[in-house]
Amino acid sequence: MSGRPWVLAETNWKTVSAEHPDVAVLPWGATEAHNWHLPYSTDNIEAEAVSVESARIAWERGTRAIVLPGIPFGVNTGQLDIPFCVNMNPSTQMAVLSDIVHALESQEVRKLVIVNGHGANDFKNMIRELQPASNVFVSTVTFYMVVDPAKYFAEPGDHAGELETSLIMHLAPHLALPLTEAGPGRERKSKLRAIREGWAWAPRQWTKVTADTGVGDPKAASAEKGRRYFEEVTRKIADYFVELAAFDPERAYED
């Protein structure tokens, strides 16, 4: 029995050579603690599930998007004192991304979408640096910015809150502890007013910000909220894959 042809890890050379995928999709997450109740792989589960479902929808519409194996490590410089939070520096991410783009370019794959699932990952400057030297059109989508979470969640939270907990309850309920096991996700705010107001920024040292590694109260989470949110997000990203497949980077802008 063959696997899903839109998932590279499950398909084969015969299928790939016959289907000629239009768009490569790279899920990129992180390995880090998510409050007391969610798995370390939360960002990876979410980024991969969003990528795969979006590609499935696009495939059914005739777009041959194919999901590459995900990258499970993200930027976690503020969590180095938390056991098994694995950091990948931005410079390392750049080297990995550059190698992937180079490989795709040599195989005449011309479009790559990074589906990001981790807040500290920021691929914009990497793409700016890669683009002048490559014929691959590289773009990035951070899945939790695709849809206004206020439509589904009273308090989405920043990390392992209502949004992420609802998603994992939908996508991988066997990996989530009961909500009674979750911490409150209480965040200690910066003493710097400009950072509190959001117009200045500095990285957070996570163990000084939160006692349970969560930022956002997960108590109102539910699998049904996660399902409805997931379905809208993946429909919109699938629309992007379909549009991107027909897109000519040489004629990228309207007259």
Give residues with Cβ within 8 angstroms of 23, minimum separation 6.
58, 63, 64, 65, 66, 111, 112, 113, 241, 244, 245
Residue 2 has pLDDT above 90, yes or no: no
Domain chopping of the chain, boundaries: 8-251
Q: State which H helix or E strand residue 2 sits in.
A: none
Whole-prediction pTM value? 0.96
Residue with tokens 């163990």: 207
Mean pLDDT to the nearest integer, 178-186:
98
Backbone angles phi, psi at 12, to 5 degrees: -140, 170
CATH top-level class for 8-251?
alpha beta
pLDDT tens string 190-234 = 999 999 999 999 999 999 999 999 999 999 999 999 999 999 999
pLDDT of residue 53: 98
What is the CB-side half-sphere exposure of residue 137 using CA atoms within 13 A?
14
Would you mind telling me the total number of residues written for the chain in this entry? 255
Specify burial of residue 143 (Cβ count, 10 A radius: 0-12, 13-18, 19+): buried
